[in-house]
Chains A and B, each alone.
Chain A
């Protein structure tokens, strides 16, 4: 009998485990007891931007970033790289924290009637960190350094449209034929197509001037790790990869008011926002991003102390829709999808209320162009969604592809969207998380259908930088049976929309141009629902306002280091 003792024990334990768990599956409903999770409306308000006060020289500002690709403007691309490049260099124009274009090295600029030739009048006497004077030749040199084939810049395409660019990329020319620097105080740029917004483009760091010592980034790699620029800060020693970057104030900076801070220490933290947050908590860093899960508690701790910054920035999160393929080849179908997504509950449940639902493609940061509610179907309306779905043939069990890129924090809200589409419309959503390059590749294929997680941020502060690359016919860059080569991977194509954009680029008057953009957005988003806006890009930061004044977030979501000062 003893022999079977262990068997009996096993059976007993199994039975106990069975009893412990309930006999039938329960409905997963009910709300949580913790406050805040079910607040009715989503989104936290923007915090006030501090008025600039007179500062004093001195002090060290500490922050952390993840390792950037490059800090040399020729290849600086992500927010971290741009952060450093913006401190080291200043171009013809600059962007203010709220997205206005202001004079930089260029005092003013003019253009011919069809906006194909631009003349920038430069400030004289401004200097590089090594004392060399900044003149029109410096700009020509910098731009050619980016356009040169040898440099293999991944962001060279910003220069597309300048005469001679294609030849340089092909390696058949060594100079930009469209850039004339014969007068040191005047830079004349010829464009291949009209662009009345070209001056806005030149605020991007890729348009930075370069001193004569820069050389080619392919050969002079020392310069790439320790660039000599003309910005308010200069490198204090070379970039220590995976360790940190040290900047010090450039005292001869005359393009704008010089900086107050003596030094800026940028620590490279492998763990990203988790490290930044922990470092802010223990007083190491004066500026920090935060991982999404802690936003709620961090806000309740730091907002009362005035150390919290919330801003809507120049980005948009949306669902890319394949508008030429079933089942989303009709505006009704796309609207049904949009109406079936309960943005508020996702924002409250997954993002703890930290995002703002979006009702347009052009985000509110473009105060003049922003049209709240231009997407009339960017809200949750189950009845309407069901009605439109029925009309569009989105029947029960219709299969819908939904892909997103993994390891970037999208798992949870994408799972929530899938769940809502299945529950609300009865669709069969084939959700698939893939690597980002695979996502891109899948989106580009001719037969691609369904919805894809997407986000877009503007490179320069103009609404056109949303509409043109994402939705213009030209940005498909391929025939129907070829993979897309541009950023319009949904293959939306509308003649009227394209014409409005073309007109906008030929319109010299800012206000009229914006009206044209608004009309275009109304067609693509309001009428055609060419893509499905989800929520605005809202950014939250912790800022040490106890020891520093003038701490604000710039257009690239980084601290505006030039104006920060110790108390």
Chain B
């Protein structure tokens, strides 16, 4: 087991380094961040000063090494636009994104698992058909379109005020987060429902369920205790991965709802060519993704001994 973990961790580190290097080179394609202010060019002398200030007068490999070094000490640098520490900016945006991800996951699990169990237990019932139709629709519709529709129709009503407030007036926490969370949750919930249904059906066919029933256990006990626990594993894997994806920032959803998380911050930073912020967020997203898929793999290996033996 230990050997597997080490091998997997080494892979993960390699992936992170390669991905950040790729990004670092790629960012130079974005263009010169110091070329202009508004419609006016920045004089060459000022551009040189700015490059020196932000360490961009160095060669690219040197800059990358500096970035890696700073990363290890937790220094994310300062942003090119407002010259604030990038760590401060992430400090505001990350909790917002985490909250969005958390609420989305909760919606996912509640709706997805419940729908999946209902559909499996009452197979071929009206409910099953309904779940099949709804999940098919949810999976087929792009998140991006769902987001736009929710923003254009639901927002503005009831607890979703679309109209801006002054910043001195505190809004209830849910007004901002619910719609994007719901947008993010719809597709995942549909997948979880399907996974849950399929996995549950398979488990319900298993011998030990028949045994449990034969022993005279109540249907409720059979389903909740035996079937549920055994059928949830693929769902857990899926949830693990989707947490990773969600924590990586939902750039489109956050941008559609102008939600102040890292996805929207990333979008704005790309528009501003704010390279330190882009680097920091993408590094973080890669880390989150790699770490979570590693954890999932290790969990898998733990649950299924065949994997770690290979």
**Direct A–B contact in the complex, CB atoms closer than 8 angstroms:** yes
A: residues with CB less than 8 A from B are 62, 64, 69-70, 75, 77-78, 149-150, 152-157, 160, 166, 169-170, 217-218, 221, 224, 240-244, 246, 265, 267-271, 275-276, 278-279, 281-282, 284-285, 407, 435-438, 440-441, 444, 454-457, 469, 477, 485-487
Taking each of B38, B42, B163, B165, which has the highest tally of chain A beta carbons within 10 Å of its own beta carbon? B38
Question: In the complex, are the beta carbons of A437 and B271 less than 8 A apart?
Answer: no
In the complex formed, the residue of B with least CB distance to A488 is B41
In the complex formed, the residue of B with least CB distance to A243 is B167
Given contacts A157-B46, A169-B45, 5 further A-B contacts (CB under 8 A): A154-B50, A270-B258, A271-B164, A278-B162, A285-B166
Give every chain A residue within 8 A of B32 (Cβ-Cβ): 437, 441
Any chain A CB within 8 A of the CB of B129?
A: no
Question: In the complex, are the beta carbons of A149 and B49 less than 8 A apart?
Answer: yes
Bound: A218/B84 CA distance, A: 10
CB distance from B138 to the nearest CB of A (A): 26
CB-defined A-B contacts under 8 Å, sample of 17: A70-B82, A153-B46, A154-B42, A154-B50, A157-B43, A160-B43, A241-B84, A241-B92, A242-B92, A267-B167, A279-B163, A281-B163, A435-B31, A437-B32, A457-B38, A485-B43, A486-B41
Any chain A CB within 8 A of the CB of B13?
A: no
Question: In the complex, are the beta carbons of A269 and B164 less than 8 A apart?
Answer: yes
Any chain A CB within 8 A of the CB of B191?
A: no
Question: In the complex, are the beta carbons of B271 and A271 less than 8 A apart?
Answer: no
Identify A244's interface contact among B33, B43, B46, B168, CB under 8 A.
B168
Interface residues on B, range: 35 or more
In the complex formed, the residue of B with least CB distance to A443 is B41
Bound: A168/B41 CA distance, A: 20
Any chain A CB within 8 A of the CB of B2?
A: no
CB distance from B54 to the nearest CB of A (A): 8
Q: Assuming A152-B49, A270-B264, A438-B31, is B81 touching A275 (CB within 8 A)?
A: no
Question: In the complex, are the beta carbons of A485 and B46 less than 8 A apart?
Answer: no
Give every chain B residue within 8 A of A157 (Cβ-Cβ): 42-43, 46
Chain B contacts with A in 253-304, Cβ cutoff 8 A: 258, 260, 264, 271, 273
Question: In the complex, are the beta carbons of B163 and A278 less than 8 A apart?
Answer: yes
Question: In the complex, are the beta carbons of B271 and A407 less than 8 A apart?
Answer: yes
Count of chain A to chain B residue pairs whose CB atoms are closer than 8 Å in the complex: 112
Chain B contacts with A in 50-84, Cβ cutoff 8 A: 50, 53, 81-84
Question: In the complex, are the beta carbons of B165 and A284 less than 8 A apart?
Answer: yes
Question: In the complex, are the beta carbons of B39 and A275 less than 8 A apart?
Answer: no
Question: In the complex, are the beta carbons of B82 and A487 less than 8 A apart?
Answer: no
Q: Assuming A242-B92, A244-B167, A278-B163, is B45 touching A487 (CB within 8 A)?
A: no
CB distance from A149 to the nearest CB of B (A): 6
In the complex formed, the residue of B with least CB distance to A281 is B163
Give every chain B residue within 8 A of A75 (Cβ-Cβ): 83
Any chain A CB within 8 A of the CB of B310?
A: no
Q: Mark B83-122, 1 if CB is under 8 A from A, else 0.
A: 1100001001000000000000000000000000000000
Any chain A CB within 8 A of the CB of B37?
A: yes
Question: In the complex, are the beta carbons of B260 and A437 less than 8 A apart?
Answer: no
Chain A interface SS verdict (over half): mixed
In the complex formed, the residue of B with least CB distance to A434 is B31
Any chain A CB within 8 A of the CB of B36?
A: yes
Question: In the complex, are the beta carbons of A278 and B164 less than 8 A apart?
Answer: yes
CB distance from B58 to the nearest CB of A (A): 16
Identify B258's interface contact among A160, A271, A276, A455, CB under 8 A.
A271
Give every chain B residue within 8 A of A456 (Cβ-Cβ): 39
CB distance from A327 to the nearest CB of B (A): 25
CB distance from A201 to the nearest CB of B (A): 15
Bound: A154/B164 CA distance, A: 32
Chain B interface SS verdict (over half): loop
Give every chain A residue within 8 A of B49 (Cβ-Cβ): 149, 152, 169
Give every chain A residue within 8 A of B44 (Cβ-Cβ): 477, 485
Question: In the complex, are the beta carbons of A436 and B260 less than 8 A apart?
Answer: no
In the complex formed, the residue of A with least CB distance to B162 is A278
CB distance from B270 to the nearest CB of A (A): 10
Give every chain A residue within 8 A of B92 (Cβ-Cβ): 241-242
CB distance from A434 to the nearest CB of B (A): 9
Give every chain B residue within 8 A of A246 (Cβ-Cβ): 168
CB distance from A233 to the nearest CB of B (A): 16
Chain B contacts with A in 135-187, Cβ cutoff 8 A: 162-168
Bound: A270/B35 CA distance, A: 24
CB distance from A242 to the nearest CB of B (A): 6
Question: In the complex, are the beta carbons of B166 and A284 less than 8 A apart?
Answer: yes
Q: Assuming A69-B81, A156-B46, A278-B163, is B31 touching A485 (CB within 8 A)?
A: no
Bound: A224/B88 CA distance, A: 15
Q: Mark B17-46, 1 if CB is under 8 A from A, else 0.
A: 000000000000001111111111111111
Taking each of A149, A281, A407, which has the highest tally of chain B beta carbons within 10 Å of its own beta carbon? A149
Bound: A278/B83 CA distance, A: 31
Identify B37's interface contact among A155, A224, A244, A486, CB under 8 A.
A155
Q: Which 7 residue pairs are nearest across A and B when measured between Cβ atoms? A: A244-B167, A437-B31, A270-B258, A152-B53, A275-B164, A267-B167, A279-B164
Bound: A441/B47 CA distance, A: 14
Question: In the complex, are the beta carbons of A240 and B167 less than 8 A apart?
Answer: yes
Q: Assuming A244-B168, A485-B44, is B31 touching A78 (CB within 8 A)?
A: no
Bound: A160/B42 CA distance, A: 13
In the complex formed, the residue of B with least CB distance to A156 is B46
Give every chain B residue within 8 A of A149 (Cβ-Cβ): 49
Give every chain A residue within 8 A of B38 (Cβ-Cβ): 77-78, 457
Question: In the complex, are the beta carbons of A265 and B168 less than 8 A apart?
Answer: yes
Question: In the complex, are the beta carbons of A154 and B37 less than 8 A apart?
Answer: yes
Give every chain B residue within 8 A of A485 (Cβ-Cβ): 41, 43-44
Question: In the complex, are the beta carbons of A244 and B166 less than 8 A apart?
Answer: yes
CB distance from A384 to the nearest CB of B (A): 31
Bound: A78/B167 CA distance, A: 21
Question: In the complex, are the beta carbons of A69 and B50 less than 8 A apart?
Answer: no
Question: In the complex, are the beta carbons of B81 and A267 less than 8 A apart?
Answer: no
Q: Assuming A278-B164, A435-B31, is B39 touching A270 (CB within 8 A)?
A: no
